[in-house]
Amino acid sequence: MNVQTGKLQHGEARHPDVSTQDIIARDKKKAPEWVASESYEYLGSEDIDTTRYTSAKYMQEEFKRLWTRTWQFACREEHIPEVGDYYVYDIGPYSFIVTRVAKGEIRAYFNACLHRGTKLRASGTEGAATEFKCSFHGWSWNIDGTNKSMLCPWDFPHADPKEYSLPEARVQTLGGFVWINMDPDAPTLEEYLGPKALEHIRAWKLEDRYITCHVTKPIPSNWKLNIEAFMEAYHVPDTHPQVSPTNADVNSQYDTYGEHVNRFISTLGVVSPEHAGKYTEQDVLDMFTVGDSSIVTDKPQVPQGATARQMMADMFRGMFEQATNTDLSNVSDSEILDCFSYTIFPNTFLFPGISLPMVYRFRPNPKNHRESLYEVLFLRPKPKDGSYVETAEPVHLTAEQSFCEAEGMDPGFGGILDQDTDNLFLQQEGVEASAKPGLTLGDYQEIRIRHFEKAVDKYMAMEPKIPNWKALQRK
């Protein structure tokens, strides 16, 4: 059972209902170690200064100190499967051409001509290329980044083509994701994540999945408010009342791993402690919402003495296997059902579960500190027979559109995302209007926000790190 609330040290209190680990321990198909573990650390109770959400200057400093030093998910490997394939990734004022230059090699070039700065590929584009040529004056580069040609080279005796290769960000791959970092002195991705989080990510084998849905939408809030809206289940009872009866929301588990990774586990198929005694096991089964309900057919009756959670695990295992042509016989009940949310600082969420197989990415709008881009991607397991699967193209929503309008988005889950993001406009305006200069966080349920902002503070305390094009050229 959880620790009873009362006169305890800061960070020790938990909801007095059954714990996340107790719920998971009852499952028939037992959970792996990465699920059946805890890693909480109390990080203080001080308010979080709201200037970081309301100041345009603060965001501009983030671009110089934080984004230039951190590892970021740029694209999936399936976006660039063949040599010459490329994908443009933008973060703030920076833009990169992520391209495959050999079967086992991916590079990320700063997306700007070294003549007069024109982008070599437009933002939001992808495709295949044999060269990267500037549309303005025709300077061009080979896909390995070396200079291919200069128009009228006789007029540039001071520009040696051998010294005009495209500057590069560092690139590493993990879990089928392509990660980039602008800092040549930064730790490796493995060091950045830390051993425990790295062990978890490798266990998921996300390289064996593919994108079935990709939706983007601009959100009227600072990127940090946007990302923090999804870091806790404390909001579920009031923001998502239709979900709360089948979700152990306020009794979710929260963990931190090193400086850059945190998570929560929210068990599903059980009644929220806030609704104890109000719903039957049959009610839970009938009301349950998954991230992708396209595979759900008729919901059966819960026999006397059985639980909705176990029936869901058994039912969804078979349904997902049939719908996706995959073998889930060795996957635990918890992985089938529960919501696992991992934040990879600064802007990526990984959800390795089967019913909620998602990735979130959040990016600031460099022209407006009160707006950010929110992306949702669904990753299904690749078919076990190795048959070809199509990588979904992104669907771009406007700020006024509902997530339910996106092709491929389950309407029930789209409605949940609308509820989350509808709060953000009010929060952004409220933070700016408030006489109180700080946000007050719960010691346990909002630890991921505190952990995240602690990392923000770390990078913002550093000197600016402005990319040096000469230092970033391949020698």
pLDDT for res 291: 45
Tokens of 19: 């714990």
What is the spatial distance between Cα 456 and Cα 475, in angstroms, rounded to a whole number?
A: 32
**Which of 11-15, 47-51, 151-155 is predicted least confidently?**
11-15
pLDDT for res 293: 45
N-to-C CA span, the chain = 58
Burial of 129 (0-12, 13-18, 19+ CB in 10 A): middle
Burial letters 445-472, b for 16+ CB under 10 A, else e = bbbbbbbbbebbeebeeeeebeeeeeeb
What is the spatial distance between Cα 135 and Cα 144, in angstroms, rounded to a whole number?
A: 19
pLDDT for res 282: 87
pLDDT for res 3: 54
Using one digit for the tens of pLDDT, what is the confidence trace for 293-303? 454 556 688 89
pLDDT for res 292: 46
CA 90-93-98 angle, to 5 degrees, is 30
Average pLDDT score over residue span 32-40: 97
pLDDT for res 1: 43
CB 84 within 8 A of CB 97: no
Q: Can you tell me which residue has the tokens 């990588």?
A: 391
What is the spatial distance between Cα 51 and Cα 88, in angstroms, rounded to a whole number?
A: 31
H/E stretch holding 228: helix 223-228
Is the overall model pTM greater than 0.75, yes or no? yes
Using one digit for the tens of pLDDT, what is the confidence trace for 307-350? 999 998 998 898 888 888 888 999 999 999 999 999 999 999 99
CB 313 within 8 A of CB 269: yes
Predicted confidence (pLDDT) at residue 286 exceeds the cutoff of 90: no
pLDDT for res 414: 94
pLDDT for res 245: 82
Predicted confidence (pLDDT) at residue 260 exceeds the cutoff of 80: yes
Predicted confidence (pLDDT) at residue 242 exceeds the cutoff of 90: no
Using one digit for the tens of pLDDT, what is the confidence trace for 189-236? 999 999 999 999 999 999 999 999 999 999 999 999 999 999 999 999
Using one digit for the tens of pLDDT, what is the confidence trace for 94-133? 999 999 999 999 999 999 999 999 999 999 999 999 999 9
pLDDT for res 322: 85
What is the spatial distance between Cα 277 and Cα 293, in angstroms, rounded to a whole number?
A: 27
CB 303 within 8 A of CB 3: no
